[in-house]
């Protein structure tokens, strides 16, 4: 969940937004649809997604794991960018949101690359581990509820291959992390994790002021 420009001066945000290649029509449609339903701010930002797509191309991602599908913005964009034999494992708990995603996956012609698991993501991640999917994924995106983020990260560490990437979106919680006066469980959890992760020797870590803040980890 991120808004472009939250971490930049508005003039700089506008300037850089204009420098992103045009969004494909289907992604614009997903964004319009979500905005109409007042859910628009839940989708990954265009800049964050454009950057992830750039990484998908650069590192030739084939197998992608997504925690937090919503109406399908990031999953559609990434599925369209994967090679023909690529796969998306998608985790969410909302039938309402993922029915919209399903519609757009079909419209974009990528539905057969995507397997949706409709239950709490931690259950799915543990099932994937039990089914022998460790070290399988090239990229995982963590973009769901914030309190279990560290548990998601631990599971992704097992599921992503050595040299693969884990991305954590929305690391400033729509700016709340920057406000000393906000004290919520999510803020405490994310604030501690954001600091702890940079010294985690299992990863090469970088946190970027893209969208609402994006942490990228390479599994050593
Ligand atoms: C920020 S949105 C995901 C945005 C999506 N990546 C996109 O680009 O549109 C977060 C999603 O996480 C889902 N979610 C919340 N708690 C969850 C849980 N425990 N397990 C799986 N999904 C969860 C919500 O239903 C919601 O669709």
How confident is the model over 11-45, as pLDDT tens digits? 887 888 788 888 899 999 999 898 887 666 789 99
Q: What is the pLDDT of residues 109-164, one digit of tens each?
A: 999 999 999 999 999 999 999 999 999 999 999 999 999 999 999 999 999 999 99
Residues framing ligand 1 (Cβ under 6 A): 1, 42-44, 68-71, 73-74, 91-94, 97, 120-121, 143-145
Judge whether 5 lies within some domain.
Answer: no
* Entry pTM: 0.96
Per-residue pLDDT, 36:
80
**Domains: count for the chain:** 1
Return d(Cα 159, Cα 117) in angstroms, integer.
16
Mean local confidence (pLDDT), 47-65 = 97
Judge whether 215 lies within some domain.
Answer: yes
Per-residue pLDDT, 7:
76
Give one DSSP letter per residue of the chain, joined into a string. Answer: ---TTTTS-HHHHHHHHTTSPPPPHHHHHHHHHHHHTT-GGGSPPHHHHHHHHHHHHHTT--EEEEE--TTSHHHHHHHHHS-TT-EEEEEES-HHHHHHHHHHHHHTT-GGGEEEEES-HHHHHHHHHHTT-TT-EEEEEE-S-STTHHHHHHHHHHHEEEEEEEEEE-TTTTTGGG-TT---HHHHHHHHHHHHHTT-TTEEEEEE-STT-EEEEEE-
Mean local confidence (pLDDT), 50-79 = 97
Alpha carbon of residue 109 to chain centroid: 21
Judge whether 118 lies within some domain.
Answer: yes
Per-residue pLDDT, 5:
60
Per-residue pLDDT, 48:
94
**Whether residue 82 has pLDDT greater than 70:** yes
Judge whether 43 lies within some domain.
Answer: yes
CATH number of residue 178's parent domain: 3.40.50.150
Return d(Cα 216, Cα 194) in angstroms, integer.
11
153 Cβ partners below 8 Å, 6+ apart? 142, 166, 168, 193, 197, 217
Please provide the average confidence, as pLDDT, over all residues in the chain: 93
Judge whether 96 lies within some domain.
Answer: yes
**Whether residue 88 has pLDDT greater than 60:** yes
Per-residue pLDDT, 39:
64
Per-residue pLDDT, 2:
47
Instruction: Please tell me the distance between residue 98's alpha carbon and the centre of ligand 1 in angstroms.
Output: 9
What are the backbone angles phi and psi of residue 2, rounded to the nearest 5°? -155, 155
187 vs 4, which has greater pLDDT? 187
Q: Give the chain's radius of gyration (CA, Å).
A: 16
Range of the domain at 153: 10-219
**Whether residue 4 has pLDDT greater than 80:** no
Do 137 and 65 touch, CB atoms closer than 8 A? yes
Per-residue pLDDT, 1:
46
Judge whether 97 lies within some domain.
Answer: yes
Q: What is the pLDDT of residues 149-197, one digit of tens each?
A: 999 999 999 999 999 999 999 999 988 998 888 889 999 999 999 999 9
Instruction: Please tell me the distance between residue 39's alpha carbon and the centre of ligand 1 in angstroms.
Output: 12
Judge whether 146 lies within some domain.
Answer: yes
Judge whether 154 lies within some domain.
Answer: yes
Shortest-distance atom of ligand 1 to CA 77: 8
Kindly state the tokens that stand for 210.
Answer: 């893209």
């Amino acid at each position: 969940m991120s808004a472009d420009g939250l971490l930049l001066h508005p003039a700089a945000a506008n300037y850089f937004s204009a420098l992103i290649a045009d969004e494909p029509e289907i992604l614009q449609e997903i964004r319009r649809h979500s905005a109409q339903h007042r859910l628009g701010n839940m989708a990954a930002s265009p800049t964050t997604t454009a950057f992830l797509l750039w990484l998908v191309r650069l590192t030739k991602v084939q197998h992608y794991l997504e925690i937090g599908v919503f109406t399908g913005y990031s999953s559609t964009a990434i599925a369209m960018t994967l090679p023909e034999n690529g796969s998306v494992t998608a985790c969410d708990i909302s039938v309402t949101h993922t029915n919209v995603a399903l519609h757009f996956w079909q419209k974009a012609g990528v539905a057969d690359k995507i397997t949706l698991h409709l239950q709490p993501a931690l259950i799915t991640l543990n099932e994937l581990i039990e089914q022998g999917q460790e070290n399988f994924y090239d990229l995982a995106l963590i973009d769901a509820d914030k309190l279990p983020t560290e548990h998601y990260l631990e599971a992704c560490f097992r599921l992503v291959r050595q040299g693969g990437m884990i991305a954590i979106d929305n690391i400033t919680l729509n700016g709340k992390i920057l406000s000393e006066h906000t004290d919520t469980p999510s803020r405490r959890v994310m604030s501690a994790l954001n600091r702890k992760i940079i010294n985690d020797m299992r990863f090469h870590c970088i946190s970027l002021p893209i969208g609402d803040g994006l942490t990228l980890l390479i599994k050593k």
